Amino acid sequence: MTIAGNKDVRVRFAPSPTGYLHVGGLRTALFNYLFARQQGGTFILRIEDTDQKRCVEGALDNLISTLNREGLHYDEGPEKGGDYGPYIQSERTEIYRKQAEELLAKGHAYHCFCSEERLEELREMQRRLRKPPMYDGKCRTLSSEEVSRNLHDGIPSVIRLKYPKEGRVVFDDVVRGRVAVENDIIDDQVLIKSDGFPTYHLANVVDDHLMKISHVIRGEEWLSSVPKHIYLYQAFGWELPVFVHLPLLLNPDRSKLSKRQGDVAVESYLEKGYLPEVIINFIALLGWHGPDDRELYTLEELEKVFTLDRINKAGAVFDIEKLNWMGGIYIRKSDVAYIADRAKPYFEAAGIDTGDREKYLKVIAVAREYVFCLSRIVDHARMFYGDVDLTDEQTKLAGEESAQRIYAFWMEALKKRKTWTKDEVNELIQQGIATLGVKGKNFYFPLRLALFGNTHGPDIPTLIDILGTDEAIRRMEACIV
């Protein structure tokens, strides 16, 4: 199959403003974005808000903000505009109504006057018979006179697609290959609801055509809807786009990724301090692999190497352990100042003063070695600010005779001058071991306890470098009994 075809590449991400951006939604947006950039095409944001009952106030602003934070800047859409707007479906209802009237006139759609009560009874009966829920076509054969009379009488109605019940539809998907579906299992889909708003299926096809979408890249859950969409394209006499259905995102137990088993909101991961570039890198590898099977990619690198033919068919497991592993690598390898600036809000929230920039950068350089997201960096930095709080067991260790001799040695030595290089501190360590006759953990553990509040942690020269001579002395003095 030719992936790019002979037309300009135009792709869209078309979410509903129903709350947070799901990680699956970000994956869809990312793959559309990457394909557009790799092909020199156009990436469009379209808001599908025709289900007004599910729309959440502020969700659109949050959605745009999240995409921007992740670096996925769209070329056309809300706030930016473009030649094919409006880009919010609730502002395009007259367009859909006109297209639905065309389908009615051509005999490809019909008015349905069945009440919700009758439809629920029908669904219940089908459930009892273990049949898939489908409309039974009761209004499909109404005469034009009956339809006119019902409309005149103001009986509530919807407009349904008059889908053929014989034969099969065969289509190509970039990921799935050749797909064949029997027509008798396809429902007569509602196109226009009783409130006058279109359903996803009509609005989606109409907008994709009018916005000249070349490739429809979306989740696998929409694969079963393709026959209805193809029929709509054919009914209107429009050219089909290229279909690309992405594999499902799965929980570790191979069930469909859901909030019941973990966090699925992109905003939540950003709030926890996962770097935006980490999230992008991780999401890109959910169902796609690069030409050299690398694990780490910048967004710019992905833009160059991404191709649709490397998307996998199998579902992709959202492995939080891999995300954490990747997060740790990025935090450790990034510029210290960059991590420090990103982490600063978490220190402010914890009430920690980071005004001493030189000290703060040194603290970040140490603390980042132990974390995979920025919200956790405070826990590994807090001991450099304020007093050390020892447990009873630690206090007992610090009060031992050998520990007290170690503190006395260090306080006397450190008081001789204000500044010490790391090499000089290492020389002092060797002098202390030789003078006191104490070595190994018996020497280092008491020192770390006094300076860091833990027997394990950074080396002594680093601790003294961060704390400074005066603070190091003060902390050891606090351990003298």
Angle, vertex CA 375, rays to CA 369 and CA 377, nearest 5:
30
Domain that holds residue 395: 387-481
Domains contained in the chain, number:
3
233: pLDDT strictly greater than 90: yes
Looking at residue 439, its amino acid is K
Residues with Cβ within 8 Å of residue 152, at least 6 apart in sequence: none
- Residues 415-456 have pLDDT tens digits of 998 899 999 999 999 999 999 999 999 999 999 999 999 999
Residue 377: give its domain's CATH number.
1.10.8
Residue 472: give its domain's CATH number: 1.10.10.350
Mark whether 269 and 349 lie in a shared domain: no
Q: What is the mean pLDDT of the chain?
A: 94
Nearest of 6, 72, 82, 75 to residue 42 by alpha carbon: 75
Residue 48 backbone class (left: φ over 0; alpha: ψ -120 to 50; beta: rest):
beta
pLDDT value at 4 more than 50? no
Q: Is residue 463 part of a domain?
A: yes
State the pLDDT at residue 6.
Answer: 37
Q: What confidence score (pLDDT) does residue 260 get? A: 58
Confidence of residue 162 (pLDDT cuts 50, 70, 90): very high
Cα 204 to Cα 92, 157, 174, 432: the distances in Å are: 12, 21, 19, 75
pLDDT at residue 263 in the model: 80
Does residue 477 share a domain with residue 395? yes
Query: Has residue 56 been placed in a domain?
Result: no
- Report residue 21 as tokens: 């951006």
- What CATH number does residue 330 fall under? 1.10.1160.10
Residues 475, 401 within the same domain: yes
Tokens of 448: 């770390």
Helices (H), 8-115: 23-39, 59-69, 93-106
Residue 470 lies in a domain: yes
pLDDT number for residue 3: 41
Q: Are residues 392 and 412 in the same domain?
A: yes
Q: Is residue 459 located within the same domain as residue 378?
A: no
Shared domain check, 381 and 396: no
pLDDT of residue 19: 85
In angstroms, the CA 227 to CA 208 distance is 16
3-state SS, one letter per residue, for 317-358: ECCHHHHHHHHHHHHHHCCHHHHHHHHHHHHHHCCCCCCCHH
Whether 261 shows a pLDDT value over 70: the answer reads no
DSSP, residue by residue, 260-323: GGS--BHHHHHHTT--HHHHHHHHHTSSB--TT--S---HHHHHHH--GGGB-SS-EE--HHHH
Calpha distance 422→420 (Å, rounded):
7
Contacts of 60 (CB under 8 A, 6+ apart): 17, 47, 49, 78, 88
CB atoms within 10 A of CB 191: 28
Active-site residue 259, yes or no? yes
Contact 12, 202 (CB under 8 A): no
Whether 351 maps to a domain, the answer reads: yes
The number of CA neighbours under 13 Å toward the Cβ of 445 is 16
**Tens digit of each residue's pLDDT (9 = 90 or more) over 13-61:** 999 998 889 999 999 999 999 999 999 999 999 999 988 778 888 999 9
pLDDT for the residue 7: 54
Q: What is the mean pLDDT of residues 179-202?
A: 95
Residue 426 identity (one-letter amino acid):
N
Considering the domain architecture, whether residues 308 and 362 belong to the same structural domain is answered as: no
Q: Which amino acid is at 45?
A: L
Looking at residue 375, the DSSP 8-state letter turns out to be G
Whether 29 is covered by a domain: the verdict is no
- Out of 165, 259, 304, 415, the active site residue is 259
Same domain? 320 vs 353: no
The answer to whether residues 308 and 285 belong to one domain is yes
